[in-house]
């Protein structure tokens, strides 16, 4: 039904585009009447739609409305009038190929299949030798389900119009027929003739891949492609298609190997290798991304990507460390890499981001806040820095002063940044930092007032963070005659901000022991889970999260814990069945959660469900697999 509506919609779009190009003397259609006719057509009330389309055809002489009129007559069972109108039109011009297709539909409805085949063959004989007429006839044949005749049409095209290529369109016909072997062969012929058509092929086969549940089509295409590569090793476009296939499968190792092989054949693949590195990094494939940058750097300064690769590689090493990913360097090793990088690239405006990262590493991971302050002060004096970049450095400097315990200096720096960035996201980010600082210091009422304002931030992330912290403070501020439990919890959060995890853990333990029935118990589990994740102890993190959903299944953190458990078992603990179970529990028990959309995506992916993928452009009565 959904595909049927898609086809109706596309038909109307094409039709109105056609009408917009008619000669000035031709009368434009009555829009209200056209809309009503379309509504009847969509509702399959063909008899009423036929009357209106007939009137629209009479007023506009548009073949678009005539085709719809004939379709309505045929679908409503008025075959006699349909055939009469077709014959009448053909007497005026017997080379209207699409009318023979309409006639064949009428004949088939009467059971006259042999006569219908003759009319379809006639359509192939009379179609004018032009690209537009061939595509128009093909679309009609496909719409009516006559795939075999659409194939014949394009197979005869090289003889009738040798200067035109219809390989892409022929491949589309084979997609309708589910003849994937022929489809792949035709598309491989197409890209061999013209490398510029590679994007079109990739887009077309992607439509088939979306319906390829068991990856058999990918394997089939790869097999045929490798055979072609053996037969024609000099056809570079085959290598590019293979690289694309590897990227679709997130097999960055093989994709990089292919690109390096091409590069060593004298074809400069530097831009593509740079892009592959970015794609791999976005998917947290740090090692393959680093290998890509290392290869570009190994080519020496002759490549225009040499310095850019060095800069981005250093940033990637830092991101790998922050993600606690496999193979990440230690803080000391990372410091050596930073120093080496600055020795090669210099302390420039272009390396401002790296200096920002290095300052954070010095202060929060290497426990050298004074060195971080020195670096940030120095960086703010670097020539050609933009005001916004200087404010980013000021923000980091404020964070370092919070780490050092110099709250006054931190507030002063935050206030400067807020004043300079009242209309952009950085200003809201720093307002959030300032409000959180108030929370750390035990100024709960003041912090909550600032957070309530930030709920209206244009940044969804900041607004959500503000709402979450404001709700947390509000729920826990008045539950006791004193605010000691909340202040202790805020103290633990400050210690976590300062990366003093052992001290934070001790505070959380003492809070858990001293106030066993306080509503903060699930928050304590949640913080402990975060500490375990930070240390790469995934199983221990899962244990704390599971305690939340077991002991506090209806509290505010239950849906957060379920989503994180699903993510842990999906990405770290390699148990997709458990991950699926947690996502499903979130969907069933917390249908109003903000995490529902994300949980549904991962659940469907783990289940092998492709319902949320775009559908192939096929007629309503045809499905694949």
pLDDT for position 20: 43
In a domain, 596, yes or no: yes
Regarding pTM above 0.75, the answer is yes
In a domain, 588, yes or no: yes
Burial of 140 (C-beta count, 10 Å sphere; 0-12/13-18/19+): buried
Give the C-alpha separation, 569 to 583, whole Å: 10
Chunked into runs of 10 residues, the chain (625 residues) has average pLDDT values of 44 44 51 88 91 88 87 90 89 90 92 94 94 94 94 94 94 92 95 94 88 81 94 94 93 94 91 94 93 94 90 96 91 96 93 96 96 96 94 96 94 96 92 94 92 88 90 77 82 93 94 89 94 92 95 90 95 92 93 91 80 34 26
Give the C-alpha separation, 178 to 377, whole Å: 65
pLDDT for position 618: 30
How far CA 536 is from CA of 106, 326, 495, 546, 568, in Å, comes to 69, 9, 19, 17, 11
* CATH value at residue 551: 1.25.40.10
Give the C-alpha separation, 526 to 539, whole Å: 14
pLDDT for position 495: 94
Nearest CA among 407, 355, 406 for reference residue 376: 355
In a domain, 198, yes or no: no
Q: Cβ neighbours of residue 568 under 8 Å, at least 6 residues apart?
A: 533, 538, 541, 542, 545, 579
pLDDT for position 21: 39
pLDDT for position 478: 63
Nearest CA among 403, 309, 406 for reference residue 361: 403
Give the C-alpha separation, 349 to 381, whole Å: 10
User: 451 near 469, Cβ under 8 Å?
Assistant: yes
Burial of 114 (C-beta count, 10 Å sphere; 0-12/13-18/19+): exposed
User: 596 near 589, Cβ under 8 Å?
Assistant: no
In a domain, 573, yes or no: yes
Structure tokens at 47: 């008899």
pLDDT for position 622: 28
In a domain, 229, yes or no: no
In a domain, 557, yes or no: yes
417-433: burial string, b at 16+ Cβ within 10 Å, e else = bbebbeeeebbbbbbbb
In a domain, 534, yes or no: yes
In a domain, 10, yes or no: no
Count of domains forming the chain: 1
Residue with tokens 């006054």: 408
pLDDT for position 28: 62
- What is the DSSP code (8-state) at residue 350? G
pLDDT for position 303: 83
Query: Which domain range does residue 600 map to?
Result: 520-607
């Amino acid at each position: 039904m959904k595909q049927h509506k898609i086809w109706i919609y596309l038909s109307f779009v094409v039709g109105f585009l056609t009408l917009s190009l008619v000669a000035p003397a031709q009368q434009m259609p009555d829009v209200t009447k056209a809309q009503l006719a379309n509504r009847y057509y969509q509702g399959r009330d063909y008899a009423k739609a036929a009357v209106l389309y007939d009137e629209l055809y009479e007023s506009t002489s548009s073949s678009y409305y005539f085709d719809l009129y004939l379709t309505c007559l045929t679908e409503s069972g008025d075959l006699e009038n349909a055939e009469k109108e077709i014959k009448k039109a053909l007497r005026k011009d017997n080379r209207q190929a699409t009318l023979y297709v309409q006639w064949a539909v009428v004949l088939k409805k009467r059971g006259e299949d042999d006569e219908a085949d003759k009319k379809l063959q006639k359509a192939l004989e009379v179609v004018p030798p032009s690209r537009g007429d061939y595509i128009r006839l093909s679309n009609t044949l496909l719409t009516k389900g006559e795939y075999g005749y659409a194939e014949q049409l394009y197979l005869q095209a090289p003889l009738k119009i040798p200067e035109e290529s219809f390989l892409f369109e022929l491949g589309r016909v084979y997609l309708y027929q589910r003849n994937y072997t022929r489809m792949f062969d035709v598309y491989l012929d197409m890209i061999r003739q013209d490398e510029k058509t590679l994007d079109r092929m990739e887009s077309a086969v992607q439509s088939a891949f979306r319906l390829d549940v068991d990856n058999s089509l990918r394997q089939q295409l790869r097999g045929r492609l490798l055979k072609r590569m053996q037969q024609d090793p000099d056809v570079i476009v085959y290598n590019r298609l293979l690289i694309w296939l590897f990227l679709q499968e997130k097999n960055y190792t093989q994709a990089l190997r292919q690109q390096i092989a091409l590069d060593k054949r004298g074809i400069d693949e530097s831009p593509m290798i740079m892009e592959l590195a970015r794609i791999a990094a976005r998917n947290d494939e740090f090692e393959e991304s680093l290998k890509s940058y290392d290869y570009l750097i190994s080519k020496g300064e002759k490549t225009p990507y040499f310095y850019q690769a060095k800069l981005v590689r250093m940033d990637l090493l830092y991101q790998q460390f922050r993600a606690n990913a496999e193979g990440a360097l230690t803080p000391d090793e990372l410091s050596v890499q930073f120093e080496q990088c600055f020795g090669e690239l210099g302390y420039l405006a272009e390396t401002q981001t790296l200096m920002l990262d290095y300052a954070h590493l010095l202060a929060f991971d290497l426990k050298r806040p004074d060195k971080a302050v020195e670096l940030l002060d120095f960086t703010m004096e670097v020539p050609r820095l933009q005001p916004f970049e200087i404010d980013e450095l000021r923000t980091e400097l404020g964070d370092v002063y919070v780490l050092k315990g110099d709250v006054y200096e931190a507030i002063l720096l935050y206030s400067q940044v807020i004043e300079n960035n009242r209309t952009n996201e950085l200003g809201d980010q720093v307002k959030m930092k300032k409000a959180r600082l108030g929370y750390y210091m035990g100024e709960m009422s003041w912090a909550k007032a600032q957070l309530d304002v930030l709920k209206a931030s244009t940044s969804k992330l900041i607004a959500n963070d503000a709402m979450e912290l404001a709700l947390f403070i509000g729920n826990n501020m008045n539950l006791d005659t004193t605010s000691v439990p909340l202040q202790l919890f805020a103290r633990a959060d400050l210690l976590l901000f300062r990366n003093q995890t052992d001290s934070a853990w001790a505070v959380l333990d003492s809070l858990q022991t001293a106030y066993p029935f306080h509503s903060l118990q699930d928050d304590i589990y949640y913080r402990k889970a975060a500490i375990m994740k930070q240390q790469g102890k995934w199983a221990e993190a899962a244990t704390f999260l599971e305690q939340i959903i077991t002991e506090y299944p209806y509290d505010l953190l239950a849906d957060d814990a379920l989503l994180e458990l699903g993510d842990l078992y999906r990405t770290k603990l390699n148990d997709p069945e458990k991950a699926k179970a947690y996502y499903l529990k979130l969907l069933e028990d917390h249908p109003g959660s903000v995490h529902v959309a994300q949980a549904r995506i991962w659940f469907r992916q783990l289940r092998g469900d492709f319902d949320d993928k775009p559908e192939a452009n096929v007629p309503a009565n045809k499905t694949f697999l």
